[in-house]
Amino acid sequence: MTGKASKRGAKKRAGANPPVQMREFEWNPPVYPDLTTEEARAGEDALLERVRSDESQPGDVVHFHPAIINRFCDFALDGREIEHWMLEALADSLLGVLKGGEWHDEFDLPGRAPQPGSTGWHPRDEKEFNIALTVAARVMRKERVTSAMHAVAAEMSCSFETVRAAYYKWRPIIAPKRSTRNADGSISGRKFRMTSRKP
């Protein structure tokens, strides 16, 4: 087969099945404040002295991490010896990250919102909980449990078995059974036993 024939065949095939059009990806990164400007660093020395001498004020917490990071960078870039208390403060925050903490919790920088959706839950647990909440909301609107599960499975693009397992896993927390008093005075539902403690 010649080169022209193969190109012609490729054009013919491309015309018959046009390529899938991808949506344009739009990236809008957040704009964070510059914490190295003179305006941002005003009062930094006084703040670090207050913290170092254990006389910090309530508002100092917000500006402590940027001040300590700026001071560390200044000392490191100038070749000066970094004070031990600064290293301890940075090491404490870094260990918090290594132990499973979030960066934005350990290094609290002003003007930086936490990452969206960071609940501290495992993503699977969070998904299961959202599934269970959706099913519970439909059941509260007097929909049958099975039909609610089928609808949620179709809505959230997962299997019926996944929805069922998630609902029954989280149901005791989301929608616990309550005791109700019947017409004859008996109690149905969850029974609570009263115990007396002896002194």
In a domain, residue 54? The reply is: yes
Total structural domains within the chain: 2
| Whether residue 99 is found in the same domain as residue 131 | no
Q: What pLDDT shows up at residue 183?
A: 63
Q: How much is the pLDDT for 25?
A: 53
80 lies in the same domain as 130: no
- Does 113 fall in a domain? no
Q: Cβ contacts of residue 76 below 8 Å, gap of 6+?
A: 82
Q: Which two tokens stand for residue 67?
A: 């001040």
Instruction: Give pLDDT, residue 106.
Output: 81
**Co-location of 148 and 100 in the same domain:** no
Residue 96 domain-assigned? yes
Cα separation of 32 and 85, whole Å? 28
Residues of the chain with pLDDT under 50: 17-23, 190-199
In a domain, residue 117? The reply is no
Q: Is residue 159 assigned to a domain? A: yes
- Give pLDDT, residue 22: 45
- Whether 116 is in a domain gets the answer no
pLDDT given for residue 114 in this prediction:
58
The answer to whether residue 128 is domain-embedded is: yes
Considering the domain boundaries, does residue 152 fall inside one?
yes
pLDDT at res. 159: 92
What radius of gyration do the chain's Cα atoms show?
A: 30
Per-residue pLDDT of 34-81, as tens digits, reads: 888 888 888 888 888 887 787 877 777 778 888 889 989 999 999 999
Q: Where are the alpha helices (DSSP H) in the chain?
A: 3-16, 44-52, 60-78, 84-98, 103-106, 123-140, 145-155, 160-174
Q: According to the model, what pLDDT value does residue 164 have?
A: 93
Q: What is the pLDDT of residue 197?
A: 42
Looking at residue 4, its pLDDT comes to 59
- 86 and 139 both lie in a single domain: no
Same domain for 140 and 102, yes or no, is no
Boundaries of domain holding 102: 44-106
